[in-house]
Structure 1
Amino acid sequence: MMDKTRAYNWYISLVAASCMVLYGYDASVFNSVQGSKHWVAYFDNPNPQLTGAVNTSYTVGAITAGFFLGGPLSDYFGRRWGMGIGCFLTIVATVLQTFSSRGKLGCFIAGRAMIGIGQGIALTSGPVYIGEMAPANIRGKIMSFWQMFYSVGSFIAYWINYICSLHIESLGEWDWKIVVACQMLVPITLICLLPFIPESPRWYIQHDYPISYARSSLLRVRSTATEVEVEIHLIYDTLQFEASNSTSYSALWKDRSIRKRLILAFILNIGQQLTGQGTLNTYSTAVYKKVFKSSDQIALINALNATFGIIFTLNATWTVDRFGRKVLLICGTLGMAICMLGVALVSSQTPTLADGSKSENVGISIVFLLFLFIFFYKPSWGATTWIWTAEVFSMSVRAQAVGMSSQMQNVANAIFQQFFPTFLKNSGFKTFYFFFTVNICLAAYVYFLIPETKRLTLEEIHITFDGTHHDLHERESVIKVRADIDLSLVHRKQLTGKSLIE
């Protein structure tokens, strides 16, 4: 039942999830504007190396922020400040790109690098905030909107680009400037909203603030005082045991349990991009040019793809907490593998027309399979990868570990996308056999190595992974607290006829 507290949980989580709109918009914006003849002319027809540098600059900025800036800023200043700093840098960088001097591609590249830094910081704090604030029983459902907002960002970028492409002559060079400038709308809105949402109670406790700060924050997002006190007890208990090992980032490689989680999360986030989604998002225009010749038609397909991406991601909201993370990841990879195999077979076993394109029926079949690929990808490796990554790390290293893990997506993209254009040029749609193989391997990886985290509190997830000497003591402590919760639920039901959940 959606009461006032549950609604507020959704509200603050969706505010934080809006950070992902920045990523989704930016991931699509350059794929859109590089097709503008006015952008090409404005920057004196840059060669492929300079065009590639535009993408690389963003990637380098994001990786740098994710590995070295996002975690420390989020841990030192707080989750809200981390998101706010990232949004501010994105606004400054957007202005820098939009009003770059004519012919000065270096200025545009600098803006792209700054956006990468800003988003690397925001994308570290956002999922950590949601993971720490959302109740365990709906955390997966709420986190699924993190990926959906990526699709919202792509949706906005592609449709703005499509509308501008219909008015190229009247807009002139503003056909690409409008697409770039609109990127600052969401971060401006976020900066206005962030001061009015509570800071993470786990951050308050970790930084030795008075307990009243954490209690006040939790009272805004939990139904009863009993739940608040139980959760505060769990947080203190977990921090006490973490402190007995290490409270610094050195635990990422010194603590065997945390190191294991980091490696698993690294591979999961690399795998997310190697499913084929990362490449299609950047090079979908190049892929569709092998089938269609009309640029307007390709722009429309990209826009529709982003639209359906929002709808498909919503499937995660009702499946991720019901069936679990592993089921979604495995089913997603198997479905994507079938789609990639279908694209490769349809394209390679059908004739090519004299102009180098495919027949209309073949084109429709390929588009359908790539849309079906998105149907499988969005709720599984799109949403669930972020959910699992934000859940599994200990409190003392959570922000840094999430930042590093999420940026492995950009590391994978930076490496693979350097040779994918050549791969596509030389092999055509046979490259999709590669994605088919990768997805089969990822299904096996999840089945054998990824633990389930469905409906566990963050502290219980810590126990699932932890193999240190204090594991039994901590487990007994958590069991005792959970028993206290159960007793309070029974007592409340006896008095009122309703449980806390009801």
Structure 2
Amino acid sequence: MVMEKGKLYYNWYAAMVAAGCMVLYGFDAAIFNNVQDNAQWLAWFDNPSGELFGLVNTTYSIGAIISGWFIAGPTADRLGRRWAMGIGCFITIIASFVQAFAPKHKIGVFILGRVLIGIGQGIALTAGPVYIGEITPSEIRGKVMAFWQLFYSVGSFIAYWVNYACGKHTKTLGEWSWKMVVVFQILVPIIILLQLPFLPETPRWYIQHGDRVDEATASLRRVRDSEQEVQDELLAIREAIVYEKEVISGSYFALWKDPSIRKRLLIAFVLNMGQQLTGQGTLNSYSSTIYKKVWTNAETINLINALNATFGILFTLNAVWTVDRFGRRFLFIVGGIGMAACMLMVALIGLETPTVKGGKSEPVGIAIVFGLFLFIFFYKPSWGATTWIWTAEIFSMNVRSQAVGMCSQMQNVAQVIFNQFFPTFYNNCGLKSFFFFMTANLFLVVFVWFFVPETKKVPLEEIDVLFGGQNHIEKGGDLLNVDDPHHAHIELDENGRAKSGAEVTHIEQPAQEIREY
């Protein structure tokens, strides 16, 4: 069925506002890579180096991990997905000002801002993909979620080009050559905050909190074509939530109680940590350090980083047309093999070419840059976009927000650990360190081949079956005494809307009596 254009556009609009939360992550991930090469920033904070230099980078991840594991899930579940995105954006704005206006010589204040921004973005980055997955039809869910990773690249694009422009006028701007880059981070969260009041809350959240059928129905009617679609999905949601609450657990204890959820959690942990071990996280944080081995001109390095972010947007678009056509497993496997080949190529270039005056010649540097650009060609649509897509769609409603928050922050756990010792690793081994990334990518391909099931176009309420769990729709239908758990039986009025009360006529047993079942 072709979706009505007005509702299709609105569905995309709502999803893109939520995906804007990823711009915050992409922007912030690029900020430290920018400022670490800014002489004004270094002088402002007394030229931090060594462990202190690494601490500035990793404190963001520490804040995000704390938020993702202990704050983001409860916030999104109790207040709603929209409120969680709004709170995350608000904290990000406050934290940006804390960083930008940290007093001279007080790097501790800057670090505090990094922790706060990690907390804010940890909340927003949990609620955003959950929101997109819960309002988007299953047949286009992967395509829409691909824009989540694309918006990460948009954030990096903005940060790198703003930094490049400010870097060209360092003498004129002085300390504002780095402060302006940091302050610019408030733009996107302000835009998101202004649009959130115009978005519907997800129907699954309404049903989860008090079985609010009327509000869930109104929400679905804004993003679905026909009344039959609305009532079919509403029935599926109610069946799944009833089963999850009454048979498994209505709390986060289901994360450990249900074997199929434990299995999903472990697989998603590996995939999200693997996303950073591919090499992308480290390259995003330390590419300037790597390029310094070839170019001494900071303006050239800023331009390369900006072009990298620009191509990242173009390469991520490949996920839009491939993820729902070829599937998640295909992208994981092809992307992993391609990234391993790129890392091998970069390492061999480093080993087999001569060192000139303590560094590599410019032609060799260009070849290395080409290899790293080719790496993001494989990374962006696969382990970049698809990791988020797969993580956001595999968990049942009772644990979805908490599980997505925990899994997504495993990226930061891996990054904190690896980024702490990568500078030393790179200083001692140079481009030989890329053999580690090559090996990690090959191991990830093997892991996907044996352990990761395909989730392409599977409805959220039926994902559990792929992991050895029960079909929550069918089991919930049994609890509600529904004849056909996949289709609602409704009576329509002359306007094509369900008659008053008709939405629940297919349920013979009231939900509040189920505990006697």
The corresponding residue for 1:163 is: 165
Which secondary structure does the structure 1 equivalent of 2:463 belong to?
helix
For 1:62-101, what aligned pairs fall within 5 Å after superposition? 62-101=64-103
In structure 2, stretches of 5+ residues that fail to align are: 497-517
Kept in 1: contact 2:240–2:472 (CA 8 A): no
Partner AA of 2:319 in structure 1: A
Q: Whole-Å Cα distance in 2 between the matches of residues 28 and 82 of structure 1?
A: 24
1:432-473 C-alpha deviation (Å, 9 max, x unpaired): 111111111100100110010001110111232243597974
The corresponding residue for 1:428 is: 430
The counterpart of 1:443, out of the listed 424, 445, 448, is: 445
Partner AA of 1:352 in structure 2: T
Partner AA of 1:295 in structure 2: A
The corresponding residue for 2:282 is: 279
Partner AA of 1:384 in structure 2: T
The corresponding residue for 2:509 is: none
The corresponding residue for 2:501 is: none
Which secondary structure does the structure 2 equivalent of 1:322 belong to?
coil
TM-score (norm 2): 0.91
The corresponding residue for 2:319 is: 316
378 and 20 in structure 1: CA distance in 2 versus 1, 3 angstrom threshold: same
Between 45-54 and 127-136, the greater mean CA deviation after superposition: 45-54
1:326-347 C-alpha deviation (Å, 9 max, x unpaired): 0000000000010000001111
Q: Whole-Å Cα distance in 2 between the matches of residues 202 and 361 of structure 1?
A: 55
For 1:10-49, what aligned pairs fall within 5 Å after superposition? 10-49=12-51
Shift of 1:300: 0.5
1:151-207 C-alpha deviation (Å, 9 max, x unpaired): 000000000001111000000000000000000111111111101100010000000
Partner AA of 1:245 in structure 2: I
For 1:70-469, what aligned pairs fall within 5 Å after superposition? 70-243=72-245, 244-353=247-356, 355-467=357-469
Between 171-180 and 289-298, the greater mean CA deviation after superposition: 289-298
Kept in 2: contact 1:38–1:172 (CA 8 A): yes
Shift of 1:293: 2.3
Q: Whole-Å Cα distance in 1 between the matches of residues 467 and 239 of structure 2?
A: 16
Kept in 1: contact 2:473–2:486 (CA 8 A): no
Q: Whole-Å Cα distance in 2 between the matches of residues 484 and 356 of structure 1?
A: 72
365 and 282 in structure 1: CA distance in 2 versus 1, 3 angstrom threshold: same
Which secondary structure does the structure 2 equivalent of 1:395 belong to?
coil
Between 34-43 and 257-266, the greater mean CA deviation after superposition: 34-43
408 and 9 in structure 1: CA distance in 2 versus 1, 3 angstrom threshold: same
In structure 1, stretches of 5+ residues that fail to align are: 493-502
324 and 304 in structure 1: CA distance in 2 versus 1, 3 angstrom threshold: same
The corresponding residue for 1:497 is: none
1:377-432 C-alpha deviation (Å, 9 max, x unpaired): 00000000000000000101000000000000000000011111111111110011
1:300-359 C-alpha deviation (Å, 9 max, x unpaired): 100000000000000000000000000000000000010000001111011111x22212
Partner AA of 1:360 in structure 2: E
Percentage of matched positions with identical amino acids: 60
Kept in 1: contact 2:204–2:216 (CA 8 A): yes
376 and 302 in structure 1: CA distance in 2 versus 1, 3 angstrom threshold: same
Partner AA of 1:325 in structure 2: R
Partner AA of 2:415 in structure 1: N
Kept in 2: contact 1:293–1:357 (CA 8 A): no
Partner AA of 1:250 in structure 2: F
TM-score (norm 1): 0.94
Shift of 1:46: 2.1
Q: Whole-Å Cα distance in 1 between the matches of residues 108 and 240 of structure 2?
A: 48
Shift of 1:291: 2.3
Kept in 2: contact 1:234–1:478 (CA 8 A): no
Q: Whole-Å Cα distance in 1 between the matches of residues 264 and 59 of structure 2?
A: 29
Between 94-103 and 214-223, the greater mean CA deviation after superposition: 94-103
Between 356-365 and 58-67, the greater mean CA deviation after superposition: 356-365
What value does the CA root-mean-square deviation take over the aligned residues?
Answer: 1.9
